[in-house]
Amino acid sequence: MEDAERQRQERRLERDRRRREQGKPTYFESDAALDSWPVAQDPSERSTAIIRPHRDADRDELIELEAQALDAEGQPAGFAVAAPVAAPDLRHEEAGRGLARSGVIFAIATGVSRVIGLVREIAQAAVFGISGPVNAFEIAFLIPNTVRSLVADSALSAAFVPVFSDLLVKGERQRAWRVASTLFWLMLVGLGGLTAFFIVIAPWVMAIFGFGPGQQYGEIAAALARILFPLVLILGLTGIVVGILNSYDHFTVPALSPVLWNVIILLGLALGVHTTNPSEHSTRLYIYAASILVATIAQFLLPLPWLRGLDGSLHMVIDIHDPAVKRTFVLMVPITIGLGLININALIDQLFATHLPAHVPHRQDAPAAIVRAFRLYMLPQGVFSVAVATVLFPLLSRHASREDWNGFRHTMSTGLRLICFLLLPASVVAAVLATPIVRLLYQHGNFGPKDTPIVAASLAAFALGLTFNGTMLMLNRGFFSLQSPWIPSWVALGNLGVNAVLDAVLYRFGIWGIPLSTSLVNIAGTAALLYFLRRRMGGFGLRETARSFGLVCVASALLAGVGYGIWHGLDAELGQSLPAQLVSLGAGLVLGYAAFFAACRLLGVREMDTLLRLRRARA
């Protein structure tokens, strides 16, 4: 009887949806229409696992911490200290109970994967350096990554998560899984054909970057591109799987899958080194590219078993007539523009890097040098801002689905402050200690002393925009959760033009001019997104965010002075052997960050109080 009643209700809602689209009155539909956005209905009335996480002793400990941290940073207006806590307030607290735990687990897992990824980057730099055919490899790897960003995992997941979460919140689990299955098979067919097409035209694509037929390393570049293009298909399917798990607040396995990815690539790199001669750079690059492909397949397969524990499953169905499928693709278009244009900026950067003026020193090494600096720049980005934005994205989507705008503003403000607190000091470290960082991590094997200042200058230029890249990511997620992605899309389109102009001006001054252009674009993009989100949502704690930003800047300046002074003094005394570098740079970082945290404590930075409560509770 319950199934029959539910089917009747679904048919009624569907009829009302069609009447609403025709501008006619509805009869049965509640405030939460079948495919409306946002949803006014209270999601706590639906038995959805993502809204009501289970309790255990560990989670209760972290829940208390999260509640205390939010009180210290300013609760939404619905929370009154002196009054009894009402049911909606309890639901606010209940919805956020798993947030701290999820954030910690995700950050740790992401941190481990980033560290192993750094080991992979160090090994790659030692084996290939930044000169010769490795520059062709970097371009061959960049092309499928750019295409992937346009049509595969990032854009697809960002469009899919709000739609899938919306259906789950409404209790339409069966329909949600049917939509997910449809998108899975559509991606398999569509991206499979796109991959085959790019494999055919690979030589002509690489020619745009100076690695075409008849040019130096042209044959190698085309072969590497053909090996790597299937990444587009595999990562597109991975985007669906990860989006499902994130909608159910499962972040750990998706965060751990890059660990497996990096380990497999390291094994492939070791295989290439032990089975070839040092002069066979091309053969080693082929083995390296093949190991990346194998690792990406493993990254897709790893989270699949965790889908079995959910309340649905992927199955063979293609229902292109479901409005939710259409809505996902409609959302995907501006999200593709927003996220894809960010990666097209990197493509433009490398286009300029492969056509540097003749007077620029080491211009032939520019593609690999920029990538090596970019990998270091992305290490704190991946550990902190990606973790914060990924964990908060489903929560922002649920706030928007419930029309809980106070919760939405508070979550967005908290995310921005956390990103600033975590990335500003990392930005300062990457700028003032760029040379010792690059020397310690990369200057081994085929990466020589002459390569260190090239990469260090690029890293310092990237560092200027580190924090703002993180805030752009958080603000983009806010617009995506509102299913209003056209604003960040237009901002990204504007950034594309600004980046091209700045590249054309700054690349004449050296390789570092290209990363500097990227940093300036990040600053402009953050300012534009803040402006438009404030117009859309009204005030959302920008004054408090600006105050926190200023205080963290002061503490970061102290970090810069202490860290550089300690490193410089010890470096001059101890020399540049590997143990000496570890001591001098390690001491500079430890004492610099000690000064930073002490300054934050004295200045009353509230995010510092949150971290201290977390440490005391875990102890």
Helix residue ranges per DSSP H, 541-577 = 542-574
Residues 326 and 188 occupy one common structural domain: yes
Instruction: Give the separation between CA 417 and CA 607, rounded to whole angstroms.
Output: 8
Cβ atoms < 10 Å from Cβ of 37:
16
Q: How many CA atoms lie within 13 A of 211 on its CB side?
A: 30
Residues 162 and 286 occupy one common structural domain: yes
Distances (CA, A) of 423 to 115, 271, 426, 482: 17, 36, 5, 25
Tokens of 350: 């490398």
Cβ atoms < 10 Å from Cβ of 29:
18
Tokens of 269: 């790199």
Kind plus residue range of the DSSP H or E element containing 301? helix 281-301
Q: Is residue 445 part of a domain?
A: no
Percent of the chain with pLDDT over 70: 78
Above 90 in pLDDT, residue 16? no
Q: Which residue has the higher pLDDT, 204 or 335?
A: 204
Residues 312 and 232 occupy one common structural domain: yes
Count how many domains the chain has. Answer: 2
Instruction: Give the separation between CA 485 and CA 473, rounded to whole angstroms.
Output: 13
Of 334, 254, 341, the residue nearest 299 (C-alpha): 254
Give the residue numbers spanning the domain of 8.
1-34
**The overall pTM is greater than 0.75:** no
Helices 366-380 and 323-353, axial angle in degrees (round to 10): 130
Cβ atoms < 10 Å from Cβ of 379:
18
Give yes or no for a contact between 164 and 179, defined as CB atoms under 8 angstroms apart: yes
Residues 146 and 295 occupy one common structural domain: yes
Tokens of 132: 């010769």
Q: Across the chain, what does the average pLDDT equal?
A: 78
| pLDDT digit string, tens, across residues 378-421 | 888 777 777 777 777 777 888 777 777 888 888 888 888 888 89
Q: Is residue 210 part of a domain?
A: yes
Instruction: Give the separation between CA 63 and CA 219, rounded to whole angstroms.
Output: 57
pLDDT confidence band for 59 (50 / 70 / 90): very low
Residues 239 and 152 occupy one common structural domain: yes
Instruction: Give the separation between CA 411 and CA 477, rounded to whole angstroms.
Output: 11
Q: What pLDDT does residue 7 have?
A: 56
Q: Is residue 575 part of a domain?
A: no
Task: State mean pLDDT over 350-368.
Answer: 88
Distance from CA of residue 33 to its chain's centroid?
32
| pLDDT digit string, tens, across residues 278-298 | 778 889 999 999 999 999 999
Distances (CA, A) of 333 to 7, 490, 558, 577: 32, 12, 44, 52
Q: Which residue has the higher pLDDT, 107 or 415?
A: 415
Q: Is residue 467 part of a domain?
A: no
Residues 4 and 150 occupy one common structural domain: no
Q: Is residue 2 part of a domain?
A: yes
Above 60 in pLDDT, residue 271? yes
Q: What pLDDT does residue 393 have?
A: 78
Percent of the chain with pLDDT over 90: 33
Q: What pLDDT does residue 280 have?
A: 81
Render 317-335 in DSSP notation, one character per residue: ---TT-HHHHHHHHHHHHH
Exposure letters 519-533 (e unless 16+ CB within 10 A, then b): bbbbbbbbebbbebb
